[in-house]
Structure 1
Amino acid sequence: MKQDVHSTTGYTNANGIFASCGAPYVTYRRPHPPAVVDYIASQFGRATAQPRILDLGCGPGTLALDLAERGASVTAVDVSEEMLAAGRDWADARGVRSVTWCQADATEAAALTKDTGLFDGATVADAFHWMDRPRVLAALDRAVRPDGFVAVVGYRAPGTQREWWHPLLEQLRLRWLGSVNLAGPATAYVESAGGHEEVIRRSAFSQVSVLRADYRRTYTLDELVGLQRTYAYSSAATLGDRQGAFEADMRRTLTAARPDGVFEADLQAAVIVGRRPAAAG
């Protein structure tokens, strides 16, 4: 299924923000901690035998494929055809058949129910900050069953520490890309106003529960360098002919900080689940 794509977040290049990121995303982005995926799957208890889940801003299916492997039928939505193509290939490699890939803006969620009916739940993983969140939640109010849920996932819970090497990478990006945080090539990132939980509490899904889950991430130097290719602000498309020098500088900086090439950090993920008050009781 493919629809005309447009942005409602102020980005004129919505389907190009993650240009060049599809294949690196599959290779270098880590899956969400099992506790996070299990918590979302536990919300299926109120759904049908095979719950129907809408995953917005799906990328190549990092969360969608895990949910499908836990028994859900997933409609995975993204504005980037490159990401969706990477997701189709990844699903084939994993033998996952219960994901439908759809190119659309997240605010069009209600239109996706036209042929299939309402969804049992909706998820947004590490992508809500790219969206017009109130409009997306209003669309989900028309797309999700009365007793359904919305789950917003973040690899790092608000207010918790970042990886210890984050300041080093911030300095590198400042040196090579300047002080403007980019949303893909030549476009400035639009900062979201207010936290995700605050926005959800002002929506129809105002009955909120939050899971925080501690976990550890470990990368090699090659993996950490490759990971930068998955971000809109440091992708190959954004860096252009500076990519080689940027990555060489990164290798020197990180090797000086950790000569053994092992990069570990203790983090805390968060899942914010919203339900309509009448259904949450």
Structure 2
Amino acid sequence: MSLFTGIATYYRQFRPGIPADVAEVLDRAAPARPGGGRRLLDVGTGTGLVAEALLGRFDDIIALDNDADMLAAAESALRPKLPAASRLSLVESTAEDFIPPSDWQAELVTVCRAFHWLDQANVLNLLDRQVAQDGVVAIFGDNSFWAAGSDWKEAVRDVVKSFLGEERRAGSGTFQHHNRPYSEIMEESPFNQVEEVRVPVERTWNADSILGYLYSTSFAAPHLFGDRLKEFEAAVKGRLADFSDDDTFLEDNEFLIRLGRRGRDAG
């Protein structure tokens, strides 16, 4: 069972999208091609948030995920917006098992909010055959609510812990933390020239959107609460009321983008 089984609707509606400033960084990082023709491989696409932000900037997009429900949500969201001259392929596969079409290489590979689920070194080595020689691998994401960063998010996390335990859940198991910085892992891969770019983002939430976000995660998916779901919702709303009189919660966050390119001696 996928860690995200049954939560695609929450993911599509409540996960924050990719800001225009982040899309611009990704677009500029990828090499240009005379007359267009750039290819994008989006790994762990989920409901297609990254591909959606980059529509019109890449002519041939392959977006892969191992969750069929997520891909169905991506199809519904992306296909109507796809420019006439662009191609979009949604592929049900893990990054570890994916085999691109013959002679297909990407100018840009994106891995957003998903690198922690991957066999990281293995995937980076596999991408060596899937990325154009001057192509770029972008591993990026913003901070999860689990990382807190504000009083109200810490309070929400404490409520989750009171229902599900101190350890961060990952479906039926617990989340396995990676202690090494992603940039360090990339520096040991074929994409060992790593540049970090930080893009700040401000968001405004309310209690319902916060709950929707929580239900889009592997650590607070609705099924984890069993018959206590309504009790959990009431507890979250009760704690949030301590921090706002008008159901408004401000968040300062940032995307950390790691851009990996091959060194001069690579290939």
1:24–1:254 distance in 2 versus 1, CA, 3 Å: same
Deviation of residue 222 (structure 1)?
A: 1.4
**Gaps spanning 5+ residues in structure 2: where?**
none
1:239 aligns with 2:225: yes
- 1:225-236 aligned at under 5 Å gives the runs 225-236=211-222
Task: Find the partner of 1:106 among 88, 95, 99.
Answer: 95
Q: Deviations over 1:128-159 (max 9, x none)?
A: 111111011011111111111100111139xx
Q: Distance in 2 between matches of 1:69 and 1:247?
A: 39
1:259 aligns with 2:259: no
Deviation of residue 53 (structure 1)?
A: 0.8
Work out whether residues 161 and 267 of structure 1, in 8 Å CA contact, stay in contact via their aligned partners in 2: no
- 1:219 — aligned with what? 205
Deviation of residue 46 (structure 1)?
A: 3.4
Work out whether residues 146 and 279 of structure 1, in 8 Å CA contact, stay in contact via their aligned partners in 2: no
Query: In structure 2, the residue corresponding to 1:243 is in which secondary structure?
Result: helix
Deviation of residue 47 (structure 1)?
A: 4.0
Work out whether residues 61 and 87 of structure 2, in 8 Å CA contact, stay in contact via their aligned partners in 1: yes
1:149 aligns with 2:136: yes
- 1:10 — aligned with what? none
Query: In structure 2, the residue corresponding to 1:68 is in which secondary structure?
Result: coil
Q: Structure 2: which amino acid aligns with 1:68? A: L
Query: In structure 2, the residue corresponding to 1:179 is in which secondary structure?
Result: coil
Work out whether residues 31 and 135 of structure 2, in 8 Å CA contact, stay in contact via their aligned partners in 1: no
Q: Distance in 1 between matches of 2:97 and 2:221?
A: 27
Work out whether residues 232 and 238 of structure 1, in 8 Å CA contact, stay in contact via their aligned partners in 2: no
Deviation of residue 241 (structure 1)?
A: 2.2
Report the identity percentage: 26
- 1:27-106 aligned at under 5 Å gives the runs 27-47=13-33, 49-95=36-82, 98-106=87-95
Q: Distance in 1 between matches of 2:209 and 2:178?
A: 29
TM-score for the superposition, normalised by structure 1:
0.86
Query: In structure 1, the residue corresponding to 2:133 is in which secondary structure?
Result: strand
Q: Compare 66-75 and 56-65 and name the one that shifted more.
A: 66-75
Work out whether residues 12 and 73 of structure 2, in 8 Å CA contact, stay in contact via their aligned partners in 1: yes
Deviation of residue 116 (structure 1)?
A: 5.3
1:173–1:216 distance in 2 versus 1, CA, 3 Å: same
Query: In structure 2, the residue corresponding to 1:84 is in which secondary structure?
Result: helix
- 1:6 — aligned with what? none
Aligned residues: 261
Q: Structure 2: which amino acid aligns with 1:263? A: F
Q: Structure 2: which amino acid aligns with 1:62? A: L
Which one has the bigger helix percentage? 1
TM-score for the superposition, normalised by structure 2:
0.90
Q: Distance in 2 between matches of 1:279 and 1:30?
A: 39
Deviation of residue 108 (structure 1)?
A: 2.5
Work out whether residues 40 and 58 of structure 2, in 8 Å CA contact, stay in contact via their aligned partners in 1: no
Consecutive aligned runs of 4 or more in structure 1 exceeding 6 Å deviation: none
- 1:174-185 aligned at under 5 Å gives the runs 174-184=161-171
1:24 aligns with 2:4: no
Task: Find the partner of 2:234 among 219, 232, 248.
Answer: 248
Deviation of residue 92 (structure 1)?
A: 3.5
Q: Distance in 1 between matches of 2:68 and 2:235?
A: 31
Deviation of residue 237 (structure 1)?
A: 2.5
Deviation of residue 119 (structure 1)?
A: 1.6
